[in-house]
Structure 1
Amino acid sequence: MKNKFLGAHVSIQGGISQAFLNAEEIGARAFAIFTKNQRRWESKPLEEKEIKKFKELMKESGISPEHILPHNSYLHNLGSGDAEKREKSLNGFIDEMERCNQLGLKYLNMHPGSHLNEISPEECIKLIADSINTAHKKVSNVVVVLETTAGQGSNMGSRFEEIAEIINLVEDKSRIGVCIDTCHTLAAGYELKDEEGYEKTMNEFEKIIGFKYLKGVHLNDSKFDTGSRKDRHDSIGKGVLGEEFFIRFMNDKRFDNIPIILETIDSSIWKQEIEYLYSLMK
């Protein structure tokens, strides 16, 4: 248990510091949050007293910034071919990076972006990297964490090669990372259910991207099978991944010491899911 840091994407309703209380309730050693309302472009700035309370609770909780994985707004598209929409997204993204800095957090997790069939995937990748480079210059410290996607529609990041190409174009390699979402990875066509498929996928990840860039995991079961290109999460053990996958994952040292976040569909059983996953460790 000591090297695996499990948690879930917890609510910040009632103030961002509520995240620590919600994490404690489910026995989390890590967690994810939104730093603002993810469905709105504009949000009021964080209040000084809320920032102070957040930092105090972080210290008390023993949960370090390395095990907190904030997620940006779903409204952002840093790869949009529309310059106005891209700038709006970039400004929103920079605001969220600044919030992370204010809270003493290290990471900001994002879905890379979508070409919306308006530009080529290659152009989209370049725009995403350019946006990240601009954000890096505007805000210090925060590491941008690219999430693997399911391959729905025109979303980028479902192939390891696409993630690797974005990283390749990012100037400051010390401030870019990757979050593997297990449901998305399966949906994108990477086999995880049996030992052979699991090892092949992990070897590909190492060869194409590199585990040195891995900063977090979204650990989710999937309602649909390998290559479905459908982003439909399921509760641990209720989907198609199977117990063998979770045993393999929980005992894989490559996933030690990083935030492992549940985004499974029933928050009322997160505590039990976390306990169950820890019980699989040998």
Structure 2
Amino acid sequence: MAKNASAKNVAPHLFGSHVSVAGGLAKGVGRAVDVGCDVIQVFTKNNNQWAAKPLVAADVQAWKTALAESGIRHPIAHASYLINLATPKADLFQKSIDSLVMELERGNELELEGLVVHPGAFTTSNEADGIKRIIDAIVETLGRVEPGSCRLLLENTAGQGSCLGHQIDQLSAMIDGGDDSARVGVCLDTCHAFAAGYAINTKAGFAALRQEIDDLLPAGSIAALHLNDSKKPLGSRVDRHEHIGRGEIGLDGFRNVLMDDTLGVIPGYLETEKGNDEETGEDWDVINLRVLRNLISEMA
């Protein structure tokens, strides 16, 4: 029997962006408000460093207060890019687990809903061993972190090099292989799915992806969407984000996602390039959020 992978209790068509928290976590909420976000993604620490100072109680409270006053919902974080749960190197493997434990604890302290992590690359081993390492890492991480608000979200990848998680069956194996699947979910990235070979820009290609999701992922697995167009063509296995509707996926691909009864109601977070449009001077987050909302209006 097919398994429905829809998220639970999520209001329809909520869009936001990954925003900078330079100057403090609460500053990130202000930036999200300024560009018109409904939802927010942040880094809770420097994403290119292993170490992090402990969260200060005053900063945690300032974050919670700013979030409550803003009306922004579904806060999530992205874990460090240094983490590699699939590595065959013992030292890097343990370092990655330790870092993930720290980030998941920070997520609980900040009352986030999810922590997005790239599963990792098997490098000199193989796919089966890499997936086993990821499962072992998830089991150890969840065993060391008390259950809280923050769920571990495995992000599908473009499949560049030996990166795992570019196929739905790989993500399914990672989730099913552990002993606490309720605390593990998926963040589905549109650019990565397209680059991995899922033709979400066509109705048939999108339907094929949806069928895999229904067949392979447990109910409620997909908890977040990364809404990014792709600079590179279908199946390139190269991860290069583009502004919505300006890449190889195009607006039809996003129509397919947003019209879907399951995926369309999951919170969507932009990870597109920051800055301003050279022609209009308008902030790119504002532009991309407007494009997404216009698609919803067209389909209403």
- Fold in common (TM above 0.5): yes
**Aligned residue-pair number:** 278
Separation (CA, whole Å) in 2 of partners of 1:164 and 1:248: 23
Equivalent position SS for 2:81: coil
Using the alignment, how far apart are the partners of 2:274 and 2:59 within structure 1? 28
Contact kept in structure 2, 1:211 and 1:254, CA below 8 Å: no
Query: What is the alpha-carbon distance in structure 1 between the residues aligned to residue 164 and residue 270 of structure 2?
Result: 22
The one-letter amino acid of 2:214's match is E
- Provide structure 2 residue ranges, at least 5 long, that are not aligned to the other structure: 1-10, 276-282
Alignment-derived partner of residue 224 in structure 1? 232
- Residue 220 (structure 1) shift: 0.5
For the pair 1:193 / 2:201, whether they are aligned, the reply is yes
Q: Which residue number corresponds to residue 277 of structure 1?
A: 292
User: Could you say which residue in structure 2 is the equivalent of 1:215?
Assistant: 223
Tell me the secondary structure at the aligned position of residue 253 of structure 1: coil
Q: How far did 1:211 drift?
A: 5.4
Deviation digits for residues 181-212 of structure 1, max 9, x if unmatched? 10100110111111111112111221122452
Aligned residues: percent identity?
35
- TM-score normalized by structure 1? 0.95
Match for residue 100 of structure 2?
A: 93
1:70 is paired with a residue of what secondary structure? strand
- Is 1:124 matched up with 2:130? yes
Q: Is the 8 A contact 2:76 2:114 kept in 1?
A: yes
Aligned to 2:72: 63
Residue 247 of structure 1 and its aligned partner are, at CA, apart by 2.2
The whole-number CA distance in structure 2 between the counterparts of 1:256 and 1:244 is 14
Quick one: distance in 2 between partners of 1:219 and 1:264?
8
Verify the 8 A CA contact 2:200 2:256 in the aligned structure 1: no
Corresponding residue for residue 30 of structure 1: 39
CA contact (8 A) 1:31 1:259 kept: no
Name which of structure 1's ranges 26-35 and 257-266 shifts more when overlaid on structure 2.
Answer: 257-266
How big is each residue's C-alpha offset from its partner over 1:201-252, in whole Å with a ceiling of 9 and x where there is no partner?
Answer: 1112211224520010101000111111110110111101122222222222
Letter in 2 for 1:160: I
CA distance in 1, matches of 2:237, 2:205: 17
Secondary structure at the residue paired with 1:75? coil
| Residue 257 of structure 1, CA deviation | 4.3
Kept after mapping to 2: 8 A contact 1:121/1:156 = yes
Contact preservation (8 Å) 2:16, 2:39? yes
Contact 1:68 1:259 in 2 (8 A): no
Q: TM-score, normalised by structure 2?
A: 0.89
